[in-house]
Chain A
Amino acid sequence: MEVISKREADKTVIYLLGELDNHNSAYARSKMDALLEDVGTNIVIFDLKLLSFMDSTGIGVLIGRYKKMKDTLQMFVRNPNKTIDKIFQMAGLYQVFSKV
């Protein structure tokens, strides 16, 4: 998997690419932390368009990033596929990452 960021006006978009599971969660976590530490905007959107797979490991990764950065950043999510959307709904993730 890969994690990259792009600036969109006053927002930072963090793209998650590939598959997020237990095997690559440590890499995803450290890459996301590095990008969020240095983000330069108050609004971050996680774009999941190119995330082809995520299991409940991803819930832990995203909630962990939210807990670390919630005091300084507003975080949103966009473009989950249908299965990932189902996971977000059942875990209540849209309560902390509003869908845009």
Chain B
Amino acid sequence: MTENKMTLTVDAISINVGFTRSVVAAFVSQLNPTVEEVGDIKTAVSEAITNCVVHAYSNNGGQAQIKVAVKGKIVEIEIVDYGQGIDDVAKAMQPFFTSSYCEERSGMGFTVMQAMMDTLDVTSSLGVGTTVKMTKKITSSVEV
């Protein structure tokens, strides 16, 4: 099985959300995914990085690390922040739950990640940070 990986560290600021999802999409393109599969992965990454910007660091900046590995036809993505952490992960993952109602936030970030990817695992510690792990199988891919 062919394996390849990359790590990217960015400032968790909103202008880097688009940059990060584009980098991940470019890396994943080696698996020949469909346009829809790339769209799904970009959306999930965008949600995770936006959470870092808005929730982990409350728009005050910080660092986010993005690790991507392709193993055969499987894409593994891990996004780590060192921000304030999530008090109750299960509650945060409920559809339409948001801690920022005044900003027109939908509270659908984790729900969208779950829908776009095959697996989603979130671990968090208050004052330490949050790690989001996601995987997706690229069904259309030709193994190289």
0/1 interface trace, chain B 22-49, chain A, CB 8 Å (1 if under)? 0000000000000110011011001100
CB neighbours (8 Å) of B18 from chain A are 19, 21, 23, 53
Interface centre among B47, B103, B106, B116 (most CB of A within 10 A): B106
CB neighbours (8 Å) of A100 from chain B are none
Q: Which residue of A lies closest to B39 (CB)?
A: A83
Tell me the number of A-to-B contacts counted with CB atoms below 8 Å.
71
Q: Which residue of A lies closest to B44 (CB)?
A: A55
The answer to whether A87 touches B42, judged by C-beta atoms less than 8 angstroms apart, is no
Q: Give Cα A60 to B102, complex, Å.
A: 11
CB neighbours (8 Å) of B35 from chain A are 82
Q: What is the size, in residues, of chain B's interface with A at 8 Å between Cβ atoms?
A: 26
A53: contacting residue among B42, B53, B111, CB under 8 A: B42
The answer to whether A23 touches B36, judged by C-beta atoms less than 8 angstroms apart, is no
- Tell me the minimal C-beta distance from B112 to chain A in angstroms: 5
Q: Which residue of A lies closest to B42 (CB)?
A: A53
CB neighbours (8 Å) of A40 from chain B are none
Q: Which residue of B lies closest to A81 (CB)?
A: B39
Q: Give Cα A67 to B72, complex, Å.
A: 46
The answer to whether A55 touches B15, judged by C-beta atoms less than 8 angstroms apart, is no
0/1 interface trace, chain A 63-81, chain B, CB 8 Å (1 if under)? 1100000000000000001
CB neighbours (8 Å) of B109 from chain A are 55-56
The answer to whether B111 touches A90, judged by C-beta atoms less than 8 angstroms apart, is yes
The answer to whether A55 touches B39, judged by C-beta atoms less than 8 angstroms apart, is no
Q: Give Cα A57 to B49, complex, Å.
A: 12
User: Nearest 5 A-B pairs (CB), nearest first?
Assistant: A83-B39, A59-B106, A23-B14, A60-B104, A64-B104
Residues of A at the B interface (CB closer than 8 Å) are 19, 21-23, 29, 53, 55-57, 59-61, 63-64, 81-83, 86-87, 90-91
Known: A21-B17, A86-B40; 18 extra A-B contacts, CB below 8 A, are: A22-B14, A22-B50, A23-B14, A53-B21, A55-B43, A55-B46, A55-B112, A56-B106, A59-B106, A60-B105, A64-B104, A82-B35, A83-B42, A83-B116, A87-B112, A90-B108, A90-B115, A91-B111
Q: What would be 19 A-B contacts, judged by CB atoms less than 8 Å apart? A: A22-B14, A22-B53, A23-B14, A23-B15, A23-B17, A23-B18, A55-B46, A56-B112, A57-B50, A57-B105, A60-B105, A60-B106, A61-B104, A63-B106, A64-B104, A82-B35, A86-B40, A86-B115, A87-B108
